[in-house]
Structure 1
Amino acid sequence: MTGNTHILGGITAGLAFAQISNYDPLILIGSSVVGALIPDICHSGSKIGRTFRMTSKIVNKIFGHRSFTHSLLFLLLMSFVMNTYISNESITAGVLLGMVSHYILDMATKNGIKLFFPVKITVRFPLTTRTGSKVENIVATVLTIISVYFAFETIVHLL
């Protein structure tokens, strides 16, 4: 999936979780967007990879694309780091939600992800699409519609 679709996935995940949590919705959504971009640090052409070019090249050289940074191991490591060094639970929850949304969206692509890294099993859904395809555009549209719904619900809940 493209960076924009991952951003929409992060927004949707953050807004959905805001419905069932007492976390600050704005912090939750902002950190979900960041979390939705983090796994692609392994790809120098991604939004985060272009921002942190050297880190991206090093991570890619060591692990390749869609392996370690797209795994449960990385998610657990990030959870440990976030819980140890970040005192705001909204930020931690948002980053982890965004990462999970990223994993789910990339499992819908033909290349899938190495969810159980270091085991070299590729995980993908039975129905997949190509990054940047018309189907991805439909997914992005659906995520936008869901986000608008949850945004409205969040605003109503805050009033």
Structure 2
Amino acid sequence: MIARTHDLAAISALVIVSLSMPIQEITLSTAIVAIVANLIGGVAPDIDQPTAPFWRNLPVGGYFGRIIAKMLGGHRFLTHSLLGAAILSYLVYLLLGFLRPIMGSVNIDIVWWAFVIGLMSHLVLDTFNKEGVPWLLPIPIKFGFPPLKAFRISTDSWVESWLVFPAIILIDILVVFANYQHILFLIHNKIM
């Protein structure tokens, strides 16, 4: 899947999880930082690809991207597994703990969970890709759905652009429509 599909899926997953969990009061700064963390989590597994947007947007990103990709075993290897997700999540947890003193009223726990939700949405979405995902690494088996590769989605194909992306938008519209009053309540009463 391409970055915009992963971004949309990450935000969609965050909205669905947020609506299904009891929400505590949060600051506006926490909400904003959590959304940014969610979007970063949504594309974080692709740091193993030197041509990923993350590397393209850095001045010497191509150079570092090639080094990191080799260290991580190439695209759709370590960072696309449960082991890789645990490692990335832990590293982000440590980073957020380090940044806690300068984050003010930002609830680091909510930000971390938003990152993890985005990260896991990436892995779930890539499971529908032709290449599959090595969920159980170090066991070198890539899992995909549906089981037959011929029925899976190719990255940046017309199926992704014209079926998957609009389907995620449609799901978002249905979720927001079905929970409109609850969403308004959360915005008015839970974000300070």
Structure 2 distance, partners of 1:26, 1:16, is: 17
Count how many residue pairs are aligned between Structure 1 and Structure 2: 159
From 66, 69, 75, give the equivalent of 2:85: 75
From 32, 48, 55, give the equivalent of 1:49: 55
What residue number does 2:187 align with? Answer: 158
Gaps spanning 5+ residues in structure 1: where? none
Q: Which moved more, 1:136-145 or 1:50-59?
A: 50-59
Structure 1 distance, partners of 2:168, 2:6, is: 10
The SS at the match of 2:135 is coil
Structure 1 distance, partners of 2:167, 2:141, is: 29
Q: Give 1:57 deviation, angstroms.
A: 1.0
TM-score scaled by length of structure 2: 0.74
Larger Rg: 2
From 142, 146, 158, give the equivalent of 2:171: 146
Q: For residues 18-67 of structure 1, give each alpha carbon's deviation from its aligned partner in whole angstroms, at most 9, with x where no partner exists.
A: 21242654433321111011100111222123234333211222311100
| 1:10 and 2:19 aligned | no
Structure 2 distance, partners of 1:16, 1:25, is: 15
What residue number does 1:124 align with? Answer: 144
Gap change, CA 1:10 and 1:26, over 3 Å in 2:
same
Are the equivalent residues in 2 in contact too, given 1:16–1:150 (CA < 8 A)? yes
Structure 1 distance, partners of 2:144, 2:40, is: 23
The SS at the match of 1:130 is coil
Are the equivalent residues in 2 in contact too, given 1:14–1:98 (CA < 8 A)? yes
The SS at the match of 1:116 is coil
| 1:109 and 2:129 aligned | yes
Structure 2 distance, partners of 1:35, 1:135, is: 24
Over aligned residue pairs, what C-alpha RMSD do you find?
A: 2.1
Aligned amino acid, residue 164 of structure 2: V
Are the equivalent residues in 2 in contact too, given 1:108–1:125 (CA < 8 A)? yes
Gap change, CA 1:142 and 1:156, over 3 Å in 2:
farther
What residue number does 2:100 align with? Answer: none
The SS at the match of 2:142 is coil
Gaps spanning 5+ residues in structure 2: where? 98-107
Q: Give 1:150 deviation, angstroms.
A: 4.5
From 37, 47, 56, give the equivalent of 2:43: 37
Gap change, CA 1:28 and 1:18, over 3 Å in 2:
farther
The SS at the match of 2:132 is coil
